[in-house]
Amino acid sequence: MSTLPIPSPRYGYDRLQRGFHWLMAALIFAAIGLGVWSAWLVQGTPLRRGLLDIHKSLGMTVLALIGLRILYRLVAGEPAFRVPPGRLAHLAAKAGHAGLYVLMLFMPLTGYLTSASGGNTLPWFGLFSWPNLLPRDKANAMLGAGLHYGGAWTLGAVLALHLLAVAWHVFVRRDEVLARMIGTR
């Protein structure tokens, strides 16, 4: 009788999940920085337009990637823990992560709504333009801008909790959580 090897559990996120996480974290930090910077500038100035062109290019890249990332997450799931977290801590992490997934979809969609219904350009790093699928409509553009602004504050708050949680794992608990996303587990 042959014995089948027992598959050992995976304790870290796989290469593709880590790639999505760190690439999109960089895109999103850059998008937030440029978005906040442009919010300080007078509308219509060349600097603001230029910053927003890069901002929109970064944000549309997030939109192109997030669908694939969510689908892959549904297939690949969450890796096992060597030392399982408490029930409440795990629930809080899951809620925070779900919130970040929703916001990674909500932010580019409301950004698109703002720019497209405002009749503005949708460039991608000067290489091509995304199609504008929405009619020009000032009310929708203002609705989009309001939702985008509220979403930006919400993202800022949830992201701050995400980073505080990581710091707590690294400096207080000194556990495996950061290693799971770096790939050293």
Name the residue nearer to ligand HEM (CB basis): 8 or 153: 153
To ligand HEM, the closest distance from the beta carbon of 1 in angstroms equals: 39
To ligand HEM, the closest distance from the beta carbon of 96 in angstroms equals: 8
DSSP conformational letter for 118: T
**10 burial type by CB count under 10 A (0-12 exposed, 13-18 middle, 19+ buried):** middle
Q: Under a CB-based contact definition with an 8 Å cutoff, are residues 165 and 90 in contact?
A: no
To ligand HEM, the closest distance from the beta carbon of 7 in angstroms equals: 20
Name the residue nearer to ligand HEM (CB basis): 7 or 84: 84
Buried b (16+ CB within 10 A) or exposed e, 44-62: eeeebeebbbbbbbbbbbb
Q: Is 2 left (phi over 0), alpha (psi -120 to 50) or beta?
A: beta
3-state helix, strand, coil in the chain (%, to 5): 70, 0, 30
Name the residue nearer to ligand HEM (CB basis): 2 or 125: 125
| Residues paired with residue 185 on neighbouring β-strands, in sequence order | none
Interface contacts to ligand HEM, rule CB under 6 A: 21, 25, 28-29, 31-32, 35-36, 38-39, 52, 55-56, 59-60, 62-63, 73, 78, 93, 97, 100-101, 104, 107-108, 111-112, 114-115, 122, 145, 148-149, 152, 155, 159, 162-163, 166, 177-178, 180-181
Name the residue nearer to ligand HEM (CB basis): 1 or 42: 42
Our measurement of the distance from residue 83's CA atom to the centroid of its chain's CA atoms, rounded to an integer in Å, reads: 27
To ligand HEM, the closest distance from the beta carbon of 6 in angstroms equals: 24
Name the residue nearer to ligand HEM (CB basis): 140 or 149: 149
Kindly state the tokens that stand for 43. 């509308």
To ligand HEM, the closest distance from the beta carbon of 5 in angstroms equals: 26
To ligand HEM, the closest distance from the beta carbon of 90 in angstroms equals: 8
Name the residue nearer to ligand HEM (CB basis): 15 or 93: 93
The pair phi, psi for residue 86, each rounded to 5°, is -65, 160
